[in-house]
Structure 1
Amino acid sequence: MSISPHGAQRDRRRIHLRKDFEIQYWTDVFGVTEAILREAIDRVGSSAADVREQLSRVPRPARP
C-alpha cells in the first residue's frame, strides 16, 4: 500500500477513480488516457492485475 497525497493509505491492488490524483496515478501507471482506463475497468472490474492484463491485449493509440 502507498500513501495518497491526502495521507490515506491506498490499496494499489484495486483501482479507484474518485479523485483527480487517483486518475492521474493510474493513467501514468498504465500509460493510457482516462477514457481507455475507464473502458478497461468497465470490462474487467477494478483489479489492477486484471486491468493490466486487459490493456496488454488491446492495441491503443499513443497517449497525447
Structure 2
Amino acid sequence: MESVTVPNPQASAEVWNSLKQAIAHSSGFQRWLSEKQASVVIEQPTDLDACVTAYLRQALETLAY
C-alpha cells in the first residue's frame, strides 16, 4: 500500500506565488488585463491573486469549449 503525502501549506504558497508571478509577467496575461481595463493598477498582492485567478478561470472556460 502506498503512503499518502500531505501537502506542505508553506510549499504550496511558495509554488502559487511563483506561478502567479510568472503568469502576471506573461504576454497573454498582459494582453488579457489590457483588454479588461486599460487603467487597472495592481497595488496589492490580493489584487494580483484575484486577477490571475480570473485569468486562469477564463482561460480554462475557453478551453472547455
Smaller-chain TM-score bracket: 0.3 to 0.5
Structure ranking higher in helix proportion: 2
Structure ranking higher in strand proportion: 1
- Bigger radius of gyration, 1 or 2? 2
- TM-score, length basis structure 1: 0.34
